[in-house]
Structure formats: C-alpha cells, structure tokens
A and B are shown apart, each in its own frame.
Chain A
Amino acid sequence: MKKIKLWLARHLSGKHAAVSVSILAIILTLITAGILLLIMGKNPLVAFLSFIQGCGLAPKANYGGGSGMLSDLTDFLNYLAPMTLASLAFIVGFKAGLFNIGIAGQMLISGFTATVLVGYSNLPALPAKILVVVIGIIVGGLVGALVGFLKYKFNIHEVVSTIMINYIISYLTGFFINNKFVDMLTRTSRICSPASRLTLTNIKIGGVNCKLPFGIVIAILMAFFVQFIFEKTTFGFELKGVGLNKRCARYIGVNVGRSIVASMAFSGILAGLAGVTYYLGYSNTIIPKTLVGMGYDSISVALLGNSSPIGSIFAAIIVAIFQQGANYMSSMIGVAKEIASLITGILLLYASCGGYMQMHARSTLQRETDLRAQAEKEASANSGMKEEEK
C-alpha cells in the first residue's frame, strides 16, 4: 500500500506530472461511474464498451443498412470539432486569468448570425463556407471583446457578465427564430442550405454513408496555432503574464487592460468558430432558447487537458466519447443518457482537484525523504556509538 502511494506520488510530481494528474482523474472517474452503474445493477464494462462502440472506435455487433463503423467515426469527428474549438476558447481566456463561461452564448449568436446571413442565401458552396467561417470569427470576437471591455473598463466580473450575456443572447435569438425563421413542423429554425454547411453529408466511403467535417481540420489547426501563440510570441507571453500575476505584468510594462480585452476577443473568436462548426456543421438547425451543454463541457475538457492546447484535443476525445456514445449506450443497457453529463461532471470534479493532488504528492515525497534522512542519521549515530563502546 505504501509502495503504491509512493509510486503514485513520484508520478504526480515528476516530469510528466500534468499528464499523470489527468490520467488519474480519468481512472477515478471511471471507478466512480462504475460503482454508480453497479448500484443500478448494470455491468460497467459493457456500458463503457458501448460508449466506445457508439463513437465508431470499436465495431458494433450489427449495423443498419448503409451505415458502418466509419459512419459512426465520422459522426464522432463531426462532434469533436466544435468541442475542441470550444475548449480552446476556454483555455485562451483561462491562461490570461479569465473565465469565459459564456462560450455557449457566443456559439449561439455566431451560429445564428451565420445561419441567417449565409445559411438562407443561395450562395455557391465555396464563398458560402468561407463567409460562414469569417462571420463566426467576427461575431464571436466582438462578443468576447465586449466582455473583456466590461471587465477592464467597469470592473464587472467576467463570470457574471458572460452569464447575463448568455441569457440575453438566448432570449434574443429565440425571439427572432420563433417570429421569423421557425420551421412550423419541428419548432426549430429552418435548416441552413447544404452549400453553407461546413460538413459534407452522405459521402459514400467503402459503401457506407459518411460525413466529411471540415471543422475537425479547423480545430486541429487552431490547436497548434494557439500553442504557437503561447509558446513563441510576445503576445502570448504577455497574456500568460497577466494570468499569473497582474501586478508583476504591469511592472514589466504590459498593458494589462489591452491584454484582457485581447484575450477575451481571441477566446470569443474560437467560441465563434465552435459555434459555426456546431450549428452549420454538426447540426443544421438551431433549437430556440436552448444553450448547448458543450459550453460547459468545454470547461471540463480544458481542465482535464491541463489547459494545454494540444492536450485539449485528447481531453476532448475522452469527453466526446461519453457525450456522443451516450445514445448507443442508452439503447444497449437502458441507462438514461443523462449519465454522460454526470460522468463529465465527476471528471471535472476530479480534474479540479489536480492542484491538491500534486501538492499532496510533493509533501508525501518530502516526508519520505525526511524520514529516510533521519533513519540514516540515526543509523550512523548508532554505529558510531557502537564503535566507541568497543
């Protein structure tokens, strides 16, 4: 038992501490979820397997006509794209010490604007798709910049302002959709034109229907771009400086106010991209007055990925497996699919304790070295005394 504890402590404070903490959080989550499933009388291993099968990462027992493992996998990638972008949006704000809780709202307003301006027009495919991305960037960036400006100029905590803006956006877009753009049959907004959609649907690959999401390319490119900004540019360094210590950043000559606005704008841009890849890619319609849960899931992803842009891709895969595989899991073993959100919440809980785990690991190691040093000292003192007796 003690050996396991020491081994764990060494890993948690060693060179790959960040990865170890995330992996430990995942293992603890799986154990907790497993216990929960056992209490409900289900086999956790079957449940976890069906999560993976539902995402096309493992073959299912049987497939319906025209679909196969590849169609599940492309579906999964289609979902992964906005998830990764949303978590990048959170990371950019977080590095500068800001909590962008309003990602869901920023996604909604950019998706709505792009749908109305481009999705209902008859533009040909290429300019439509480019315009959609540009609109996502502009609208998301503007909302983000507004939040940053409110924080810098009027000292309004960004968590409160983003939540308020979330509700304002939700009601405002809901009002317009219900009055102007509603599809009477589905009670959601009318679907956007296939030309403007960032995901190509009904592509035949190897005889099965697949989707071709451009979003995933954008997402991975953006992950490397954000990594580059924070590792190699002065701008990224300044943002990190503001996040770590505002006063220190001011003393070394960083314009703190400008950095706050810039990082929120950047965060909003990424959220806007997530919005267009969600509403004009993963989906093709908007449910009025509903904010996607992805806005909050992205926070779990960012914390699990230890707010590293590249790490967030892997973390997004983990969370997306639960969210996207929930439907199939639910149909297989009959557990309500809301359990996916519960598992994500538990994951977030453990991930947020990462700092404490590391601190605890360090103090355990420190105590161990102290004990060993003391034992050695006593041993040498004892042997010294024995020699004297001789």
Chain B
Amino acid sequence: MTKVFTDGLSFAMPLLIMAIGAIYSEKSGVTNLAIEGFQGFGAFIGALIAILLMGRLGTSSQLVLYVAMAGAAVGGGLYACLHALLCIKFRANQVISGVVVNILAVALTTFFTSAANSAINGTSSNKFILGVSTRFTVPVISKIPWVGGLFTNMYPFEIIILVLALFFWYLMYKTKYGMMLRACGENPQAVDAAGGDVEKTRWIAVIISGALSGIGGICFAYSLLANFSPSIYLGYGYLAIAAMIFGNWGIGTTALVCMIFGLAKSGGYQLCIAMGLPSNYSDLFLMLPYVLTMLLLIFFSKKNHPPKAAGEAWDKGKR
C-alpha cells in the first residue's frame, strides 16, 4: 500500500508541473495543446546536456541531474517561443499551432537523438541512457502507515517541483504580473486600456509554460523511463491538459487532480501485481489513467469556466 503512494506521488509531481505550465499559458489567453511537444523537447535538451556532462563528471554524479533540469527548462522555454510566435505574432489558429508544435517536436527530437548518438559515440541508437535518479526517505514521517508512503523513496526532483509549484502559485495569484496575466485571458482589451502590454504578457506566459513542461519531461525521463527516447511521448502532456480542465484552471485544484491520476496509475499497477495476473495484463492497467480521465471529463467538463479570451489572437482594433 505504501508503494501505491510512493509511485503515485512520483508520477503526480511531474504531471503537476506540466499542468501548471498549461495553466499559465491558457490563463494568459493562449490555448496550449503543445505541452506534449514542450515536455519532449525540453527533456531532449536536458538529456543531451546530461549525456555530454556524464562523459566529464562520470555517470554516478547527481550534479548532472540538476544541470539537466535547468537545461530542460531552458530548452522547453526556447521551444515554446515557436508556439508563441505562431499564436501571438502570426495569429495562426492556436489549436493547429499546438498540434504542429507537437508533431515537429517528435520529428526533431527523434531525428537529432539519432544524429547526436552517432556523433558522440558512433552508435545509431535513438536513446540517451540516463539511469534513475537516487532516492531518499524522510526519517520520522515516513513511518506513518499508508500516507507515510508519500515520504518514502522520494526523488529529489519532487521537492524541487513542490517549491516551484508554490512559487508559481504565488506569482499567479499574489503579484501584479499574475493579476495582469489572468486579465489577459479574460479581457485583453481592459489590460490594454489600463496600459498593460498584452502581447508581452502572453509571450512570457507561454515561455514559462514551456520551461515548466520541460522540467516535467526530464523528470519523467529520469524516473519512469530511465532514458530519453521517442517513447517519452506517452501522452502525459495531454494528461496534464486534462488535469487542468478537470481542475478548472486553478493551480490548487489541479494539484489534487494530478494526485488522483498518480494514485490511479500506481494503484492499478499494484492491483495487477496483487491479483497475481501475468504481465500481459499490465496493458489493461496501463489504460486506467486514460479511462479515468475520460470519465472525469464526462462528469466535470460541463461546469467549467475556461478563460474567456483563450483561443483568440489579440487584436488591438477589435472591441
């Protein structure tokens, strides 16, 4: 049972940071279906840096992980500029732009992973082997039955994500910039009238979105997959978007939803083991988060209040 909580949390935290990224973009008025692409591209940059560093520092160094996380944030942020450019400057359809960004990310990272591998060590594999980050257990609290599982075998990145999530919650709800960002998504004309710069605010929001998604991506690469390969496009970016919709575009509620997703995934997997089913059946249990998402969306989508101006390019002359 503790394992359910341990694994659930380590899945929920990267999902949460990606969902916060999605919230930033959408609250500023840019529909963002590109989370999947952002996280993949960010993870690619992070993994590339990690591979290059591992040659210097040795494979066991934990410093590599933190540098890779920073690299993933920068890479995701840079890649997000493409979405911002298409949506804000070129006024392309934001849903199409999101899909384009995703497809391009898969193609770019797949191609350049092979290219980088053949350049670095002469193999033609399409994987960067990263290994799994070390884990730690918080002493006293982890002894609590059941819930103690949350504090057992934690990844260091879970703490980093928690800090980041709190910071971005503060930025969104307690600062002037956050106020303006949310106004851009509801009524950009009012922001313009008040002397704010709608386009600049949205640019920053989309870049933040990319950076946070990149961090989410590299965390998946370092925990769940232990490598970077095209198999990182498992649809978790879309899962994060679903969490955001279900969480009604609020950071607190979305965090709760991510936790439910995480527990559903790990719970299903542990159930499969506990029932003694052969490993063939794991496919059915891997399906659970997606089925759960669909069911939750069916029950909760109707009552939602998405940002009013999301999906529309900002047109100064329009009223």
A339 to B126, alpha carbons, bound, how many Å?
13
Asked whether, in the complex, the Cβ of A150 is within 8 Å of the Cβ of B298, the reply is: yes
Bitwise interface map of B from 65 to 91 toward A, beta carbon under 8 Å scored 1, else 0: 000000000000000000000100011
Give the dominant DSSP class at B's interface: helix
Nearest-neighbor residue (CB-CB) of B235 within chain A: A167
Nearest-neighbor residue (CB-CB) of A182 within chain B: B280
Q: Known: A168-B290, A356-B91. Contact between A336 and B111, CB under 8 A?
A: yes
Asked whether, in the complex, the Cβ of B297 is within 8 Å of the Cβ of A336, the reply is: no
Bitwise interface map of B from 280 to 291 toward A, beta carbon under 8 Å scored 1, else 0: 110110110011
Is A160 on the interface with B (CB-CB < 8 A)? yes
Is B253 on the interface with A (CB-CB < 8 A)? no
Asked whether, in the complex, the Cβ of A352 is within 8 Å of the Cβ of B96, the reply is: yes
Interface size class of A (residues with CB under 8 A): 35 or more
Q: How far is the CB of B22 from chain A (nearest CB, A)?
A: 11
A158 to B86, alpha carbons, bound, how many Å?
21
Q: Known: A336-B114, A336-B115. Contact between A175 and B283, CB under 8 A?
A: yes
Give the chain B neighbours of A344 by CB distance below 8 A.
Answer: 103, 107
Is B92 on the interface with A (CB-CB < 8 A)? yes
Q: Known: A168-B290, A172-B287, A178-B280. Contact between A349 and B104, CB under 8 A?
A: yes
Cross-interface CB contact of B92 among A161, A346, A356, cutoff 8 Å: A356
Asked whether, in the complex, the Cβ of A355 is within 8 Å of the Cβ of B111, the reply is: no
Asked whether, in the complex, the Cβ of B104 is within 8 Å of the Cβ of A345, the reply is: yes
Q: How far is the CB of A18 from chain B (nearest CB, A)?
A: 16
Bitwise interface map of A from 339 to 372 toward B, beta carbon under 8 Å scored 1, else 0: 1011011101100110110010000000000000
Q: Known: A154-B297, A348-B100. Contact between A164 and B280, CB under 8 A?
A: no
Give the chain A neighbours of B286 by CB distance below 8 A.
Answer: 171
Is B245 on the interface with A (CB-CB < 8 A)? yes
Q: Known: A156-B298, A163-B235, A338-B114. Contact between A345 and B287, CB under 8 A?
A: no
Q: Known: A299-B99, A353-B86. Contact between A348 and B284, CB under 8 A?
A: no
Q: How far is the CB of B264 from chain A (nearest CB, A)?
A: 13
A336 to B98, alpha carbons, bound, how many Å?
26
Is A259 on the interface with B (CB-CB < 8 A)? no
Is B271 on the interface with A (CB-CB < 8 A)? no
Is A174 on the interface with B (CB-CB < 8 A)? yes
Interface set, chain B 98-121, CB cutoff 8 A to A: 98-100, 103-104, 106-108, 110-111, 114-115
Cross-interface CB contact of A165 among B93, B108, B294, cutoff 8 Å: B294
Asked whether, in the complex, the Cβ of B95 is within 8 Å of the Cβ of A160, the reply is: no
Q: How far is the CB of A199 from chain B (nearest CB, A)?
A: 28
Asked whether, in the complex, the Cβ of A154 is within 8 Å of the Cβ of B298, the reply is: yes
Asked whether, in the complex, the Cβ of A299 is within 8 Å of the Cβ of B103, the reply is: yes
Q: How far is the CB of B291 from chain A (nearest CB, A)?
A: 6
Give the chain B neighbours of A174 by CB distance below 8 A.
Answer: 283
A339 to B98, alpha carbons, bound, how many Å?
21
Interface size class of B (residues with CB under 8 A): 35 or more
Give the chain B neighbours of A348 by CB distance below 8 A.
Answer: 100, 103-104
A230 to B93, alpha carbons, bound, how many Å?
22
Is B242 on the interface with A (CB-CB < 8 A)? yes
Give the chain A neighbours of B283 by CB distance below 8 A.
Answer: 171-172, 174-175, 178, 289
Q: Known: A167-B290, A346-B104. Contact between A160 and B241, CB under 8 A?
A: yes
Q: How far is the CB of B123 from chain A (nearest CB, A)?
A: 12
Is B5 on the interface with A (CB-CB < 8 A)? no
Is B302 on the interface with A (CB-CB < 8 A)? yes
A154 to B293, alpha carbons, bound, how many Å?
13
A349 to B107, alpha carbons, bound, how many Å?
12
A359 to B99, alpha carbons, bound, how many Å?
22
Give the chain A neighbours of B96 by CB distance below 8 A.
Answer: 99, 303, 352
Asked whether, in the complex, the Cβ of B238 is within 8 Å of the Cβ of A175, the reply is: no
Nearest-neighbor residue (CB-CB) of B106 within chain A: A341
Q: How far is the CB of B257 from chain A (nearest CB, A)?
A: 14
A263 to B161, alpha carbons, bound, how many Å?
42
Is A157 on the interface with B (CB-CB < 8 A)? yes
Interface set, chain B 244-291, CB cutoff 8 A to A: 245, 280-281, 283-284, 286-287, 290-291
Q: Known: A99-B99, A155-B302, A179-B280. Contact between A160 and B242, CB under 8 A?
A: yes
Asked whether, in the complex, the Cβ of A345 is within 8 Å of the Cβ of B103, the reply is: yes
Give the chain A neighbours of B108 by CB distance below 8 A.
Answer: 342, 345
Q: How far is the CB of B212 from chain A (nearest CB, A)?
A: 19
Q: How far is the CB of A28 from chain B (nearest CB, A)?
A: 14
Asked whether, in the complex, the Cβ of B235 is within 8 Å of the Cβ of A161, the reply is: no
Q: Please report A residues at the B interface, Cβ cutoff 8 Å.
A: 40, 99, 101, 150, 154-157, 159-161, 163-168, 171-172, 174-175, 178-179, 289, 296, 299-300, 303, 336, 338-339, 341-342, 344-346, 348-349, 352-353, 355-356, 359
Q: A155-B304, A164-B297, A348-B100 are in contact. List 7 more A-B contacts (CB 8 A).
A: A171-B287, A174-B283, A175-B280, A175-B281, A296-B106, A352-B86, A353-B92
- 20 cross-chain CB contacts under 8 A: A150-B294, A159-B95, A159-B98, A160-B241, A160-B242, A160-B293, A161-B294, A161-B297, A164-B238, A164-B242, A175-B280, A336-B124, A338-B114, A339-B111, A344-B103, A345-B106, A345-B108, A349-B100, A352-B86, A355-B93
